[in-house]
């Protein structure tokens, strides 16, 4: 019993991470380059539905990793580690370039949409990031207004002058800026006022609670009203059924994303979906 207890204590002290987990977290990072090169790290797209027009006007790029021996590794299990080791730039640029090439392909096929890429706020302080993003747009021949950057607000990143400057440069270049996971962090109205964004994404935890809880419904409704007052469009994520869609629509939400519309899917499936929508 004491052995088990000490093992339990070690596990707890390590933050619930076993030695095997730690080994994997180390090797994982060295495997990343290979995964980007051989295609086991790929990009899925989840459609965003515009409620006013009833059309898919955008899609979010979400990274996927099919590990040769571990199978599907969810991004929440490797993005934080990559971020902690300062390697998130490489992954972000990989996803960005892929998404921009795919956006160019959709435009050429006559079904242009806006693609959204997740950008960790920690990257915004890096010198040269804005230029790198603008260069990637130019290389792919994609207009800046076809790109949205979804920035997660994080307690670790203060909205210091250089971060605001970087966001303003990106926005002034015509790129859409979206505040991701709104409501989960320290986001306040004063934070939003300083954040040069055009879009706010309500986190799925609120969206999924809104039918069962009137306080969550009030929260969602007042967030939408406030965002509109500030001139932002609102996207709700995690919409899994028609009832939630209807409730969001009644609250004046602009766009929705979630399993009810479509799961994250390979690019070819997205392209096919947009083609059928185009002829509908």
Nearest distance in Å: CB 117, Ca ion? 9
* Closest listed residue to residue 198, CA positions, set 161, 234, 236: 234
Stretch that binds ligand C2E, among 2-10, 157-165, 190-198, 257-265 (CB under 6 A): 257-265
**Site for ligand C2E contains 183 (CB under 6 A):** no
198 CB-near residues (< 8 Å, 6+ apart): 171, 176, 177, 178, 231, 232, 233
**Site for ligand C2E contains 178 (CB under 6 A):** no
* Closest listed residue to residue 207, CA positions, set 244, 153, 241, 242: 244
Residue 275: both structure tokens together: 């083609």
**Site for Ca ion contains 180 (CB under 5 A):** yes
**Site for Ca ion contains 153 (CB under 5 A):** no
**Site for Ca ion contains 118 (CB under 5 A):** yes
According to DSSP, residue 135 is labeled H
Q: What residues pair up with 265 in beta bridges, in sequence order?
A: 45
Distance, in Å, from the CA atom of 264 to the CA atom of 239, rounded to the nearest integer, reads 13
Sign of CA dihedral 172, 178, 184, 188: positive
Q: Are strands 114-120 and 71-73 parallel, antiparallel or unpaired?
A: unpaired
Q: Quick one: what does residue 277 bind among Ca ion, ligand C2E, none, with the CB cut-off 5 to 8 Å set by partner type? A: none
**Site for ligand C2E contains 125 (CB under 6 A):** no
Choosing from 31, 102, 150, 199, the residue that interacts with Ca ion (CB under 5 A) is: 150
Q: Quick one: what does residue 262 bind among ligand C2E, Ca ion, none, with the CB cut-off 5 to 8 Å set by partner type? A: none
For residues 181-200, which are near Ca ion according to CB under 5 A? 181
Residue 56 contacts residue 47 (beta carbons within 8 Å)? yes
**Site for Ca ion contains 244 (CB under 5 A):** no
Q: Quick one: what does residue 74 bind among Ca ion, ligand C2E, none, with the CB cut-off 5 to 8 Å set by partner type? A: ligand C2E
- What is the x/- site pattern for ligand C2E, positions 62-101, by CB under 6 A? xx----------xxx--x------------x--x------
Distance, in Å, from the CA atom of 31 to the CA atom of 69, rounded to the nearest integer, reads 12
Residue 8: both structure tokens together: 């339990």
Q: Which is nearer to ligand C2E, 165 or 240 (CB)?
A: 240
Distance, in Å, from the CA atom of 195 to the CA atom of 142, rounded to the nearest integer, reads 25
The Cβ-side half-sphere exposure at 150, using a 13 Å CA radius, reads: 22
Choosing from 114, 120, 130, 187, the residue that interacts with ligand C2E (CB under 6 A) is: 120
**Site for ligand C2E contains 118 (CB under 6 A):** yes
Could you list the residues that contact ligand C2E (CB under 6 A)?
A: 46, 62-63, 74-76, 79, 92, 95, 118, 120, 150, 152, 180-181, 204, 237-240, 258-259, 264
Query: Which residues of this protein are in contact with Ca ion, per CB under 5 A?
Result: 118, 150, 180-181, 203
């Amino acid at each position: 019993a004491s052995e088990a207890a000490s093992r339990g204590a070690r596990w707890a002290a390590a933050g619930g991470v076993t030695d095997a987990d730690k080994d994997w977290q180390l090797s994982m990072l060295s495997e990343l380059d290979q995964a980007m090169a051989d295609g086991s790290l790929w990009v899925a797209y989840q459609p965003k539905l515009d409620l006013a027009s009833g059309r898919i006007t955008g899609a979010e790029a979400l990274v996927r990793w099919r590990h040769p021996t571990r199978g599907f590794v969810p991004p929440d299990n490797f993005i934080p580690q990559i971020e902690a080791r300062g390697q998130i730039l490489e992954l972000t640029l990989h996803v960005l370039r892929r998404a921009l090439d795919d956006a160019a392909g959709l435009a050429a096929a006559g079904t242009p949409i806006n693609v959204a890429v997740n950008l960790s706020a920690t990257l915004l302080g890096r010198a040269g990031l804005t230029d790198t993003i603008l260069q990637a747009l130019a290389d792919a021949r994609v207009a800046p207004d076809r790109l949205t950057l979804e920035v997660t607000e994080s307690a670790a990143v203060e909205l210091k002058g250089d971060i605001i400057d970087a966001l303003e440069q990106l926005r002034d270049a015509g790129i859409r800026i979206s505040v991701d996971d709104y409501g989960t962090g320290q986001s306040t109205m004063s934070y939003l006022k300083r954040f040069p964004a055009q879009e706010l994404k309500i986190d799925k935890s609120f969206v999924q609670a809104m039918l069962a809880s009137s306080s969550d419904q009030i929260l969602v409704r007042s967030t939408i009203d406030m965002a509109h007052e500030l001139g932002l469009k609102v996207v709700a994520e995690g919409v899994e059924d028609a009832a939630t869609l209807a409730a969001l629509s009644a609250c004046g939400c602009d766009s929705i994303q979630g399993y009810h519309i479509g799961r994250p899917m390979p690019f070819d499936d997205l392209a096919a979906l947009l083609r059928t929508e185009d002829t509908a």
